[in-house]
């Protein structure tokens, strides 16, 4: 009996073909596109029927009238104050190009980070590792750590992302997590460190930690269970009370928010989503969100948000999602 035929080329999945289709869509709409580009595109389409099918889906997505209007509104008007009739195509083609560029930059950054890491998770992944001293580290999505254990110290460098540390007690060997020079020190406790653009977010679930930065002007910051601090590289931070189950909901693949701007929610969802999320209507970002959401299925989460908050969403193979 013949094997069932695959709709995709061997070794390629729909996500990869969608990325290629988006790249072709962008290239063919640039002013620098040539007849040779068109010939190469036709050869790509002829390679397998799925290529043309997915490209047509990408093209149809951009021809959606509502999306065209949203793209036009997102662009600047022409110098005389009148809307530019070619604006939407330029805007959308630029979006397609940005998806390709963003994907390339992300891959290069991940390769660099992975090379320095002892443990690493990709998009949407989560893993737990037990270290040689029996301390346990849970790495959230897109997280990387490097382990440096010495006779007198246990040092972990958080290179990227967010991780939960359950520290095995050992008073003779302090346990220190270092992120961009910010040190979180514990003896036996359970805490989370998350990278931020300007520092780190430190959350304590059990026990106590002390946060410091050698050479900084701000003093050491003590934190105990149920407390958290946004640590700025330059100024330190003030501890505040938090709901520990809410702060650790990501361990169960959940996002719990109360009256949070949708823009902030989408930034978090992007860390779990293998595709690219584009927002054409900036009013969407200011909408307020309250609820519990499943981070293990980002496409479904986005659809749920669109129905709840009543905005439009279009997606191609879950690789490119446009909100407007």
Residue 121 to residues 15, 138, 276: CA-CA distances in angstroms?
A: 19, 10, 18
pLDDT > 90 in the chain, percent? 52
- Least confident piece of the model among 31-35, 119-123, 171-175, 244-248: 31-35
Identify the CA nearest to 323 among candidates 274, 287, 296, 272. 287
* DSSP output for 164-209: EEEPPP-TTS-EEEEETTEEEEESS-EEEEEEETTEEEEEEEESEE
Q: Does position 267 have pLDDT exceeding 50, yes or no?
A: yes
* Model pLDDT for residues 248-265, shown as the tens digit of each residue: 999 999 999 999 999 999
Give the model's pLDDT for residue 84.
37
Distance of CA 215 to the CA centre of its chain: 32
Please list, in sequence order, all residues whose beta carbon lies within 8 angstroms of the beta carbon of residue 152, skipping any fewer than 6 positions away: 172, 173
- Least confident piece of the model among 69-83, 128-142, 238-252, 256-270: 69-83
Residues 142, 268: Cα–Cα separation, whole Å: 11
Give the model's pLDDT for residue 312.
87
- Calculate mean pLDDT across residues 155-170: 96
Residue 59 to residues 17, 18, 24, 38, 100: CA-CA distances in angstroms?
A: 14, 11, 10, 15, 16
Q: Does position 191 have pLDDT exceeding 60, yes or no?
A: yes
Are residues 146 and 114 in contact, defined by beta-carbon separation less than 8 angstroms?
Answer: no
Strand partners, 293: 255
Our CA angle for 126, 130, 132, nearest 5°, is: 145
Identify the CA nearest to 191 among candidates 126, 115, 265, 242. 242
Q: Strands, DSSP E only, in 233-287?
A: 240-241, 254-261, 276-279
Q: Strands, DSSP E only, in 46-186?
A: 119-120, 127-130, 136-139, 144-149, 154-160, 162-166, 175-179, 182-186
Higher-confidence position of 63 and 229: 229
Give the model's pLDDT for residue 82.
35
Higher-confidence position of 20 and 81: 20
- The DSSP code for 251 is G
Alpha-carbon Rg for the chain, nearest whole angstrom, is 24
Give the model's pLDDT for residue 97.
53
* 91: region left, alpha or beta (phi > 0 left; psi from -120 to 50 alpha): alpha
Q: Does position 200 have pLDDT exceeding 90, yes or no?
A: yes
Residues 228, 246: Cα–Cα separation, whole Å: 12
* DSSP output for 273-303: -SSEEEES-TTGGG-EEEEEEETT-HHHHHH
* pTM of the predicted model as reported, rounded to 2 decimal places: 0.74
Give the confidence band of 141 by pLDDT, cuts at 50, 70, 90. Answer: very high
Identify the CA nearest to 321 among candidates 262, 282, 277. 277
Residues 187, 171: Cα–Cα separation, whole Å: 6
Task: Calculate the average pLDDT of the chain.
Answer: 82
Residues 130, 145: Cα–Cα separation, whole Å: 13
For the chain, domains (ranges, CATH) are 14-116 (no CATH), 127-244 (2.60.120.1440), 249-323 (3.55.50.30)
- Calculate mean pLDDT across residues 268-289: 87
């Amino acid at each position: 009996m013949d094997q069932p035929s695959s709709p995709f080329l061997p070794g390629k999945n729909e996500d990869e073909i969608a990325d290629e289709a988006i790249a072709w869509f962008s290239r063919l709409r640039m002013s620098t596109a040539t007849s040779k580009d068109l010939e190469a595109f036709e050869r790509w389409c002829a390679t397998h029927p799925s290529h043309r099918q997915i490209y047509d889906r990408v093209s149809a997505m951009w021809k959606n009238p509502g999306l065209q209007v949203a793209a036009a509104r997102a662009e600047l008007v022409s110098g005389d104050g009148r809307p530019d009739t070619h604006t939407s195509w330029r805007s959308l083609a630029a979006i397609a190009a940005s998806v390709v560029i963003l994907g390339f930059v992300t891959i290069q950054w991940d390769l660099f980070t992975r090379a320095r890491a002892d443990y690493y998770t990709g998009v949407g992944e989560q893993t737990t590792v037990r270290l040689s001293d029996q301390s346990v580290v849970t790495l959230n999505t897109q997280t990387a750590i490097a382990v440096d254990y010495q006779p007198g110290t246990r040092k972990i460098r958080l290179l990227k992302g967010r991780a939960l540390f359950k520290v095995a007690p050992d008073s003779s060997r302090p346990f220190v997590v270092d992120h961009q020079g910010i040190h979180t020190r514990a003896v036996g406790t359970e805490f989370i460190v998350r990278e931020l653009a300007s520092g780190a977010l430190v959350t304590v679930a059990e026990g106590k930690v002390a946060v410091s930065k050698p050479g900084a002007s701000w003093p050491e910051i003590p934190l105990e269970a149920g407390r958290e601090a946004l640590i700025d590289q330059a100024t330190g931070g003030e501890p505040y009370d938090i709901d520990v189950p809410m702060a650790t909901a990501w361990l169960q693949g959940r996002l719990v928010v109360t009256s949070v701007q949708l823009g902030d929610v989408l930034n978090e969802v992007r860390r779990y989503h293998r595709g690219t999320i584009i927002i054409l209507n900036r009013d969407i970002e200011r909408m307020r969100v309250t609820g519990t959401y499943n981070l293990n299925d980002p496409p479904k989460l986005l659809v749920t948000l669109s129905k709840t908050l009543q905005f439009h969403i279009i997606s191609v193979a879950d690789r490119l999602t446009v909100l407007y």
